[in-house]
Structure 1
């Protein structure tokens, strides 16, 4: 397939030489919170992040776990006492022999009648390049920071209500993670698979916990990639097991109990989703943010954008995919310059840090030395979102790749899939998410497309609408932006508890 024109091609490739500037511009930097007035210096070429020598102390770890089946990995674990929760916590690192160190923070289910059998959620924030600890403290964890970040207060609507939750800082060099860079969602998914194998091996008390992989925003890439790694490796393991050809070391592994995946306001099928930015900006259920002429300009740009994304879907390499990202995100310039919050069309962007002042409180809390010591951090600086990681994923071409194609095999295998979206979000809006869900090619496509949208009630009040056919569901969450659990804590908890219990909406 030919690209739209040589002029477009020249423009897109020229952007490769402007790594820092392009990544930090409002039009390009649509998921990560950095603003153009404060980009990281030489972000795309800055050196590898290393541990702070004074913090590297083997004595701080209560356990160091490994498996013969995964000789290149180990798990370091301690039990922090933070967030004033009575449930068990673990924090630590997954280490690889390729100098990759992924930080995690685990919370046991607080209110499940059978804690050891409660489901296990792995949560990943987006960016690309933002810490899942941000999601923990802003959205679905058991505590939230007080103003200024000197302390935290309990949050009773955390998703750890009925489930164990792991917040994993991936990709590398976000949050408290550090080491050699990985700018590829598929490669990152393979490391997450190894982490989960080690986790279940190290904590056999959770062996009956079903596994649910959830993420938000760029998690629309991470979640399908991680689920692909788990599902395909499970199939390979089961086949070798049935043939009786597992090595002694391999017998330590298990079929990971992948039960469902969930994507909240995600970027999953850009080809379809980019078509709906003008709808969300000018013709949504909320007041328009842009003028009709600005939205008409978006619509005129979309055909070229679509041709570029088509080329990316066909070739799936940086040379084909970066031009699509560069051109298509220029469509969003007018919105980015409007002062409106890209994560919520109802409110202005405040604070310059993901447009929410609470992010500064999270940064302040997690950069307190006593908090870092309690968590066992190997690094002395918490990085909520990394400009370098963002640029790395952008220029690798990962942004526009069709991770949507990883979802049909999961559905056909009986794995449940939940797509949910706050209906006030602009950047990964519900129109685009619903559209790709309806268009998804799988055996239930027609019946899902013809299924009714049913009202979802919480405590007798309308919380949204849901469409379900067999193991596939789409949920529109009323009066919520990009971060659904932040805007609708009560309703989001009802949503996740229903989903985990396989109850209808």
Structure 2
């Protein structure tokens, strides 16, 4: 989940709030270090199944970076199918600053949380045919904590690599299996950088097989062209949600917005990138937000929590229960689904508008399969913008991809979206999905991930 930005400079805070009231646990089943990663340690425990989230083998714990006082929480679920042979998926939510446990309980994990604050089994969980790791990163997100902070995607990537290296060293039974990274929203920044970081380490002990990005922010210079069309009726399949004058206002501010993003791309400096973020978000996203509509689903009004979904409040309540935290080995006294201070750190480090699509070029040219999928009812990282940047992406197979035809994708005999593929690069439009495709279209989402991890990158559309 999600992508958000400060409404005004007066709201900004230049440091993430440190976590107080830390209670360190000693009852870990596993502790491991590596001489190649001298500052890192992984602590893990066998997570009790009586939590009722799933009946598969589970591990939870922390990656520690002791000299920097950073502690990243993770929760792992084995596949319900064939854990000895099924792939591994690392899931990352966005924000920046939002917990991946949102993905676990609201989107694609083994259970959701109902209004009675009880886990309800999810039959379309992504661990139906894969083992899944949910990682709270960067620090001070979810159950992760630190007295310091991280404010850019590059720094976060180094810690994620260390986590994976130690995880697969501790649990070598998974290290030879195909491994995929998936995520959404600001993970459109995270995943290209994290995957590039991983591929730099030829000594790694796991097999990175592909990446999947859902409704991501990856190429702002291209994507910011498509807020006005999406809000004003051209991409949503519905009438405009704004008045004509508001649509004209978005178009009037767009040229300066794009010029500022270009300056950010050229310099990479916070002095160029921060003004682009504030000006463009106020001009291109602000008018839509003022309507009170859900930025993650253009069909809905915002309700419940500040992130527009009542169900997220149930998750917060569940994860703040003392017995849940104790059984997971949690060391913070409070869980928050999103930390807005972390978000502001990234904004004011200039990270928001940087061109992480260049890392996607590197991944593809290095032979790593890449899936970009987008629910077509999302506003904040809408399908029009994602379609556009994939079409314009420079890589060795760009000509072939641009020439490829858009084809229908069906799930259980019913058209569920459109797909465009060439070799190892695929763009998928998912009908009826908002920002969180697994939440809105659970059957389509499970079919999507199962097909992709099986190695069918064209989703059956290239079969004769």
Give the CA deviation at 1:256. Answer: 3.1
Does the residue aligned with 1:116 lie in a helix, a strand or coil? coil
Give the deviation of 1:186 after TM superposition: 0.6
> Who is 1:222 aligned against?
190
SS of the aligned residue for 1:406 comes to: helix
1:232 aligns with 2:204: no
- Counterpart of 1:166 (choices 114, 123, 133) is 133
1:74 aligns with 2:41: yes
The CA distance in 1 between the partners of 2:6 and 2:316, in whole Å, is: 13
Matched residues in 2 for 1:263 and 1:46: separation? 26
1:99 to 2:69 alignment = yes
Residues 469 and 41 of structure 1: is their aligned pair in 2 closer, same or farther, counting only changes over 3 Å? closer
Range with bigger deviation, 278-287 or 160-169: 278-287
Post-superposition CA distance 1:303-333 (Å, at most 9, x none): 1111100110011121110010011001122
Q: Distance in 2 between matches of 1:197 and 1:310?
A: 36
| Matched residue SS, 1:195 | helix
Aligned residue for 1:435, secondary structure, equals helix
Matches within 5 A, 1:255-270: 255-270=205-220
CA distance in 2, matches of 1:74, 1:401: 31
Give 1:293 shift.
Answer: 2.2
Structure 1: distance between partners of 2:335 and 2:43: 19
Alignment of 1:94-133 (within 5 A): 94-97=63-66, 98-112=68-82, 115-133=83-101
CA shift in 2, pair 1:276/1:47, >3 Å = closer
TM-score under structure 2 length normalisation: 0.94
Question: Larger Cα Rg: Structure 1 or Structure 2?
Answer: 1
| CA distance in 2: counterparts of 1:275 and 1:231, whole angstroms | 32
Q: Are residues 195 and 321 of structure 1, via their aligned partners in 2, closer, same or farther at CA, if it must alter by over 3 Å?
A: same
Work out whether 1:376 is the aligned partner of 2:346. Answer: no
User: Aligned to 1:190, what secondary structure does the other structure show?
Assistant: helix
Cα distance change of structure 1 residues 433 and 410 upon mapping to structure 2, 3 Å threshold = same
List runs of 5+ in structure 2 lacking aligned partners.
Answer: 460-464
Q: Give the CA RMSD over aligned residues.
A: 1.8
Give the whole-Å Cα distance in 2 for the aligned partners of 1:403 and 1:40.
28
Match status 1:65 vs 2:32: yes
Secondary structure (helix, strand or coil) at the match of 1:290 reads coil
When normalised by structure 1's length, the TM-score is 0.86
Q: Is the 8 A contact 2:7 2:282 kept in 1?
A: no
Structure 2 residue matching 1:411: 3-state secondary structure: helix
CA distance in 1, matches of 2:334, 2:55: 28
| Aligned partner (choices 31, 34, 37) of residue 3 of structure 2 | 31
From 400, 408, 419, the equivalent of 1:455 is 408
Write the distance in 2 (CA, Å) between the matches of 1:167 and 1:45: 25
Q: Which consecutive aligned stretches of 4+ in structure 1 deviate over 6 angstroms post-superposition?
A: 33-36, 39-42
Q: How does 1:64-463 map to 2 (within 5 A)?
A: 64-80=31-47, 81=49, 82-97=51-66, 98-112=68-82, 115-149=83-117, 151-179=118-146, 180-234=148-202, 237=203, 254-282=204-232, 283-284=234-235, 285-331=237-283, 332-463=285-416
Q: Is the 8 A contact 1:141 1:159 kept in 2?
A: yes
Q: Is the 8 A contact 2:39 2:65 kept in 1?
A: yes
Please tell me whether the aligned partners of residues 40 and 387 of structure 1 are also in contact (alpha carbons under 8 angstroms).
no
Contact 2:16 2:345 in 1 (8 A): no
What is the deviation of 1:34?
Answer: 9.1
Residue 424 and residue 42 in structure 1: after superposition, are their counterparts in 2 closer, same or farther (change >3 A)? closer
Q: Compared with structure 1, are the counterparts of its residues 47 and 338 closer, same or farther at alpha carbon in structure 2 (3 Å cutoff)? A: closer
Q: Select between 288-297 and 78-87 the one with higher mean Cα deviation.
A: 78-87
* Shift, 1:223, TM fit: 0.5
Aligned-residue offset at 1:208: 1.8
CA distance in 2, matches of 1:336, 1:233: 42
Name the structure 2 match of 1:13: none
Q: Deviations over 1:262-285 (max 9, x none)?
A: 110000000000000011011222
Q: Which runs of 5+ in 1 are unaligned?
A: 1-29, 238-253
Contact 1:424/1:479, CA 8 A, preserved across alignment: yes
Deviations 1:37-56 (A, max 9, x none): xx999843465224x34x31
